[in-house]
Structure 1
Amino acid sequence: MAFNLSDLHLLRPAWLLLALIGVLLPMLWRRSRDLQHRLRGNIAPHLLPHLLLMPSDPHRLRPVHLASALLVLGALAAAGPTWEQDRPDFLENRAPLIIALDLSPSMDTIDVPPTRLEAAKHTLHDLIARRSGARTALIVYAGSAHLVLPPTDDPALLDSFIQALSSDLLTRPGKDVAGVIAQAKRLLAAEQAPGTLLLISDGADVTQLSRLKALLADSPLQVLILAVGSNPASFDAPALKQLAAATDAPLGSLTLNDDDLDWVELHAQQHFQDADEQQRALQWKDAGYWLCWPLLLVALLCIRRGWSLNWAAVLLLGLLLPPQPAQANALADAFLTADQQGRWAFEHHHYPAAAQLFVDPYWKGIAAYNAADYDLALATFAQLDTAQAAFYQGNIYVRRFKFDQAISAYQQALQHQPDFPQASANLALAIALKKDTESAADNTPEVKPDALKFDKTPGKGQTKTVQTEQASSDALWLQNLSTSPANFLRRKFSLQDQGAGHE
C-alpha cells in the first residue's frame, strides 16, 4: 500500500508528552551549567565576562543530547505512528458458515448419481476440507429444522455427522426454510459475527416466502442457495428462484468440478469482510517498531569512554523493591501475569501447561478440558455458577457416559441462559444417548453357560488392570460410543419434534 500523508496518525498520541520532556532536557541541562546566569544577581553583568574563565568544550555531543534523542524517538515509537490499515491474513478463514441440508424424500432422486443427497454430501465433504480452521455449523431440515452441530472448527467431527445423514432421519414432510433461518440467526447471535447460511436443496415451500424477508430484516446473515439436480426440468427450479428472490440470495447449482465450492467460499468471505468493515473500524498497522533500530543505534552511541550514568535512583529503586524468590520462569513472571502466561500457552496449544498456569477458574477449566484432564476441569467448573461452566460439565459427563448428570448440567446451563443453542442441542443429544443406551441394555440377551472352564489352575493366574484411554477429541469420543451418529440423530430429531408438538 502506498504511503498517504493524509492517513498518517498516531495510535497513542499521549506518549508525545514524553517527547516534549526530551526536547526540554538539553535546554534545562544547559541552563543548569550556565554560571553567568547563576551569578548575575551577585556580580555586575559587565564584569562577569572578565571574571569567569569558561573553558571551551571540545565535545559538542554530550550524554544529555543522546538521552534527549532516546526520549524523543522512544516517545514517537510508543505513540504508534501508522498510515496503513491492517487486515489479518487469516480473516478469510474466519467467515462462519452455517450449512442447511435438505433431507426431504425428493433428495433421494437418482438424476444426480448416486442420489441428490449423496452428491450434496460429497460436495460438503470437499467444502469443509477446504475450510480447515474455519467454524462451520450443520442444520438439516424437511418439514422441521434441526441443529445437528453448532459451529465447530473440527472437520473430522463435522464430516462424521454429514456422512451419517439420510432422508429417513426426518419424518415431517415439507421444506421448512423459515425454521432453518430462525436456527441460523440464533447460532449467529451466539457467534457475534456476520455469517453465511448455505441452503442445499432441490425445491422450496412457496407458502413460506412471504415471511422470510421479515425474518432476515436487520440480520447480518447472508443466504446462499445451492440447487441440486441434473437440469432445471428435474427439480423445482421456479420455487428455488422465488426463494432466492424472497431472501435476496444468490442462486447457484451443484457442479461436477470445484466451481460450486469456489462460488460458496467467494460469497462467504466477501460478505464477512463487507459486514466486518461496517461493524468495526479496521485496525491499523503499528509502524512504531521501525524506530527501534535508530533507538538501538543511539543507545550504542551512549557507550563511550568517559561517559557515565548516575545510578543512584536506580539503586534506590532496587533497594525499595521487596526481594522475590528465584524461580525458573522469573523472566516471564517479571513481565507477564500467570493468566497472561496461561493465555500464551493456550494459544500455542500447550493445554496442560495452560491449565497449571491459569488462575482464572473459567480459563483454567477450559484449558483442562482441552487437555482431557476432566477431573481438574470438573473441579474448576464446579466453582462457577455460569451457563458456560454448566455446559462444559455436561460435555464431560456425556464423555463419561453419565447421562443423568449431563442432562442436569445442560438444564442448569439453559436456566442461566435460555438462548443457548449449543446447550439445547447437547441436551437433546444426551437424552437420545441415554435412551439408546437403556434400549441396548434392555435388549441384551441373558445367556447362561452350561459350564465354566478356566485355563489356569486356581492361584496360578495373573490379573491385570486394563486402562482405557480417555477420548481427547470429539471425533475419538464419537468413535468410542456404542451407537452410530445416525441412531442418536434419529432419536434426537424425534424427541425435538415431539417436544415441538406439545408446545
Structure 2
Amino acid sequence: MDIDLSALHFLRPLFLLLIPLGALLLLWRRAEVRRRRVQSSIAPHLLKHLLITPSTRARVQPIHLLSALLMLGGLAAAGPTWQQDRPPFLENQAVLLLALDLSPSMDASDLPPSRLEAAKHKMLDLIAREKGLRIGLLAYAGSAHLVLPPSDDPALLDSFLQALATPLIDRPGKDALGAIEQAKRLLVAEKVPGTLVLITDGADASQFAAIGKSLEGTALQVLILAVGSNDTGVLRTADGQPRTDSDGRALLGRFDQAGLEQLAKAADAPLGSLTLDDDDLDWIELHAQRHFAQANPDAGQIHWKDAGYWLTWPLALLALLCIRRGWRLNWLGALLLASGCLLNPPQAQAGVLADAFMTADQQGRWAFDHHHYGKAATLFADPYWQGLAAYRAADYDRALGSFAQLDSAQAYFYQGNIHTRQFHFDQAIAAYEHALKLQPQFPEATANLALAKALQKDHDDAAEKAPDTKPDQVKFDKPKNKGDARKVETQQASSDELWLQNLTTSPAKFLRQKFSLQDAARQAQGTGARP
C-alpha cells in the first residue's frame, strides 16, 4: 500500500487532541507514583530536587495500556488519509437512456450486416462495459415507445435489445421528439438527471423547432450517435435479401448527414458517429459523466479513503491485554459485553456472538448482501425486507405473506410479480393497478402491468384454441401414492424489475403487440405521433 506523504492529512483532526492527553496521563502517573513513595519523609520543597528517574524498567500497568489506547485511538479516530476515493461511474445513480431508430432506413447495408445490427452490437458493448449502470431502452420510428425502464441487469437488457427490429413499429417516420418526451417522463419518475443517446441515421426537419422548446429547462442531456456512412446502403429484409420496389429495383437507405447536423443544433446536442473501436463509447461516457457532475454538485466533490480503520486491529489487541486478573480496566469490557447481551437477547440462529452485537434485521441484511436469501428471510423482522429476501430465494408463499402486511407501492409490485409467475393474471393485474394507484409514476409497474395483460390474453387465446378432447387411455408409471416427491428449486431472475426471460412469450412478440396497442390508443385520443 503506497502512501503519498504529500497528500497525507486527517479527516477529523480534533481527535488528535487525545494523543497528548494520553501522554500527559502517563507522565502524570509516573510523577505521582514517585512522589507518593517519598513525600512522607521529605519536605515538599526539597522533594522535586531529590527525585531521580529509576533506571529499571517498571512492569506494565493498566495506566500504560490506557494511555496507549488513548493515543492510538485518537490517531485512528482522526481519520488519516492520503488517497482519494472516486466512486465507480455515476455510482448507480444516474440513468443512461438509449433510443434506437427502427425506421426502415436502418436496414441499409452500408455498415455490415446492417446499420441496425451494427448499432445493436455497439449498444451491447456499452451495456457490458458499464456494469452496474442503470440503462433504459427506447425505440422509435414514426412513434416513440418505452422498451425497458432503467435496469442494471445485462441479461435482461440483452434479451430486449436482441428483439428490436424495424417491423416492430408500423408507423413510418423518425419521431425523435417523441423519444425525448418519453425520456423526460422517465427522468421525472426516477428523480435523477440522465442522458439520452439518439442512435439514428437521419432526422425529421419538421420537429427541430419543437425539440428545442421541449429541452428548455430540463435535466435531460441529449447525445446523437450517427449510424451510417456517406455511401448509400441497400435495404435488406430479415433474411438478408435486398428489398425492391414494384419495378424490381433495389431500395436504398440514405444517410442524412445534413439532417443529423441540424438535429444536433436544434437539440444543442453533441454529434458523434459509430466507430469500429471504443472511441464512441468513451465519448458517450465522458459526456454522461460531465452532465451528471454538473447536475449534481455533490457528485463532483472529492472523497478521501479513511485509513484509520486499519488501526482497529492493534486497538483490539490492546483492549484484550487489559483483561487481566487484578486489573480494574477489565471490568469495562465485561460490562460492555453484558450490556450488549441484555439489549440484544438471542433471537436467531446466527450464534450467541452475533445476537449479542447485531439485531435481527442487521443479521438479515448481512445475509442478504452475501446472497444468502433463504437465511436472510428467516432472520429479518422487517416485513418488507423479509418478503424481498424470500422473493429472491423463490419462496413465494413466504414472500406473499410478508408483502401482504404492507400497504405500499413496492409491496403490491412484488405481489404482482409473484402472481404473474404463478399464472394468476387477474390477481397480478389488480396488484399492479393498486401499486400505480399509490405511486402513479412507477415505470416498472406500468411495464409489468402491460406484460401481465398481454400474457393473460395469450393464455386465454391458447385456452380457447385448445381442442376439447379426452385421452383414449391413461397410464401411470408409478402405483398410487408411490410417486417420487422431491423439492425443485427454481432459478431466480437476476432482475426484479422485469423478468420476461422466465415467462413463456418472446420479447419481440410482446413489444410488437405493445407498440401496436399504444399507437392505436394515441390515434383514438387524437394525440398520435408527430409527422
TM-score (norm 1): 0.82
| Residue number in structure 1 paired with 2:352 | 330
Q: Percent identity?
A: 58
Change (3 A) 1:317 1:143: closer
| Residue number in structure 2 paired with 1:25 | 25
Q: Distance in 2 between matches of 1:116 and 1:185?
A: 27
Name the SS of the counterpart of 1:85 in structure 2: coil
Write out aligned runs for 1:162-311 (5 A). Answer: 162-231=161-230, 234-269=254-289, 271-272=291-292, 278-279=298-299, 281-292=301-312, 295=315, 308-311=327-330
Change (3 A) 1:332 1:469: closer
| Residue number in structure 1 paired with 2:75 | 76
Change (3 A) 1:209 1:59: same
Name the SS of the counterpart of 1:163 in structure 2: helix
| Residue number in structure 2 paired with 1:122 | 121
2:445 maps to a residue whose letter is A
Gaps of 5+ in 2: 233-253, 526-531
How many equivalent residue pairs? Answer: 495
Deviation at 1:87, TM superposition (A): 0.9
Q: Distance in 1 between matches of 2:482 and 2:214?
A: 67
Residue from 347, 372, 376 that aligns with 1:350: 372
| Residue number in structure 1 paired with 2:430 | 408
Change (3 A) 1:232 1:274: farther
Q: Tell me, yes or no, if the aligned pair for 1:98 and 1:197 is still in contact at 8 Å.
A: yes
Q: Distance in 2 between matches of 1:329 and 1:343?
A: 16
| Residue number in structure 2 paired with 1:155 | 154
Deviation at 1:139, TM superposition (A): 0.9
1:115 maps to a residue whose letter is S
| Residue number in structure 2 paired with 1:376 | 398
The Cα RMSD (Å) is: 4.2
Mean Cα deviation higher: 353-362 or 85-94: 85-94
Q: Tell me, yes or no, if the aligned pair for 2:374 and 2:393 is still in contact at 8 Å.
A: yes
Deviation at 1:96, TM superposition (A): 3.8
Q: Distance in 1 between matches of 2:341 and 2:319?
A: 29
1:10 maps to a residue whose letter is L
Change (3 A) 1:33 1:414: same
Q: Tell me, yes or no, if the aligned pair for 2:93 and 2:192 is still in contact at 8 Å.
A: no
Name the SS of the counterpart of 2:137 in structure 1: strand
After superposition, give the CA deviation of every residue in 1:206-239 in whole Å (9 maximum; x if it has no partner).
Answer: 2322233444345443322222223276222112
Gaps of 5+ in 1: none
Deviation at 1:84, TM superposition (A): 3.7
Q: Distance in 2 between matches of 1:457 and 1:84?
A: 68
Q: Distance in 2 between matches of 1:334 and 1:399?
A: 39
Write out aligned runs for 1:414-429 (5 A). Answer: 414-429=436-451
| Residue number in structure 2 paired with 1:8 | 9
Q: Tell me, yes or no, if the aligned pair for 2:322 and 2:330 is still in contact at 8 Å.
A: no
2:428 maps to a residue whose letter is A
Change (3 A) 1:336 1:414: same
After superposition, give the CA deviation of every residue in 1:2-22 in whole Å (9 maximum; x if it has no partner).
Answer: 4446x73424x5645655653
Deviation at 1:361, TM superposition (A): 1.8
| Residue number in structure 2 paired with 1:493 | 515
Q: Tell me, yes or no, if the aligned pair for 1:428 and 1:496 is still in contact at 8 Å.
A: no
Q: Distance in 2 between matches of 1:387 and 1:20?
A: 55
2:305 maps to a residue whose letter is K
Change (3 A) 1:238 1:90: closer
Q: Tell me, yes or no, if the aligned pair for 1:85 and 1:282 is still in contact at 8 Å.
A: yes
Deviation at 1:463, TM superposition (A): 6.2
Q: Tell me, yes or no, if the aligned pair for 1:96 and 1:134 is still in contact at 8 Å.
A: yes
Q: Distance in 2 between matches of 1:283 and 1:98?
A: 28
- Whether 2:452 is the aligned partner of 1:452: answer no
Mean Cα deviation higher: 343-352 or 477-486: 477-486
Mean Cα deviation higher: 233-242 or 287-296: 287-296
1:353 maps to a residue whose letter is K
Q: Distance in 2 between matches of 1:315 and 1:121?
A: 63
Mean Cα deviation higher: 196-205 or 90-99: 90-99
Name the SS of the counterpart of 2:405 in structure 1: coil
After superposition, give the CA deviation of every residue in 1:424-459 in whole Å (9 maximum; x if it has no partner).
Answer: 12222222222222223223344x47x814567998
| Residue number in structure 2 paired with 1:142 | 141
After superposition, give the CA deviation of every residue in 1:246-289 in whole Å (9 maximum; x if it has no partner).
Answer: 23322222344554444434544555566555546332211213
Q: Distance in 2 between matches of 1:301 and 1:328?
A: 28
Q: Distance in 2 between matches of 1:429 and 1:224?
A: 30
2:359 maps to a residue whose letter is T
Deviation at 1:88, TM superposition (A): 3.1
Mean Cα deviation higher: 204-213 or 417-426: 204-213
Q: Tell me, yes or no, if the aligned pair for 2:374 and 2:389 is still in contact at 8 Å.
A: yes
Change (3 A) 1:30 1:381: same
Q: Distance in 1 between matches of 2:295 and 2:518?
A: 33
| Residue number in structure 1 paired with 2:382 | 360
1:204 maps to a residue whose letter is A
Change (3 A) 1:367 1:218: farther
Q: Tell me, yes or no, if the aligned pair for 2:384 and 2:411 is still in contact at 8 Å.
A: yes
Change (3 A) 1:224 1:477: closer
Mean Cα deviation higher: 110-119 or 245-254: 110-119
Q: Tell me, yes or no, if the aligned pair for 2:225 and 2:272 is still in contact at 8 Å.
A: yes
Change (3 A) 1:9 1:211: farther
Q: Distance in 1 between matches of 2:159 and 2:333?
A: 62
TM-score (norm 2): 0.78
Change (3 A) 1:497 1:33: same
- Whether 2:416 is the aligned partner of 1:394: answer yes
After superposition, give the CA deviation of every residue in 1:101-123 in whole Å (9 maximum; x if it has no partner).
Answer: 11223323344344332332233
